[in-house]
Structure 1
Amino acid sequence: MSSKEMNAIELKRGGEDRNAFGKKQIMGSVVFSPKEKDVLEVVLQESGSYTLEEAKQLMMLYLNKEVI
C-alpha cells in the first residue's frame, strides 16, 4: 500500500466521528473471511484505526493493484 493511497483514505476520513476499529479488532472480526484477513494483515497498520468500509476499500485497492 503506497503512502499516497493511505493519505487519500486518511483525508477522506476527516474529523468525522465514526465507528473505527484497530487492526486487532478487525482481524478478530467475523465480517471478513480468513483469505480477506490475510490481505488485511498486509494493508492495515498496527497503529491505525479503520471503519469496516475503509478496511474493505484498502483490501480492494491492494487486490486490484497493477502488477509490474
Structure 2
Amino acid sequence: MTQIHCDTTARRTMHQGYKVKFLKAATGTRDDENSAGPVKAAELQRAILFASTCSLSTYSLRKCLSAR
C-alpha cells in the first residue's frame, strides 16, 4: 500500500542520500477509512503521490516502464 510501505521505504531511502522515484503504475492501495472518514483508493493514491512529490521524490506519470 502506497501510503504505508512505499512512503516509509521512500523516506528511509531519501535519508540515506538516494533519489526516490515513484512510478504510479507500480504502486497501489485500497479504499480505506479512519477517524477522518472514508477515502477511495484512487483519491488516496493520488494524495500520497502528490505529497511525496512535494517532499521527497520524483513522480512519474508513466503508465508502464516499457511496452513489450
Report TM bin, short chain.
0.3 to 0.5
- Taking structure 1 as the reference length, the TM-score comes to 0.32
- Structure (1 or 2) with the greater strand fraction: 2
Q: Which has the higher helix share?
A: 1
Larger radius of gyration: 2
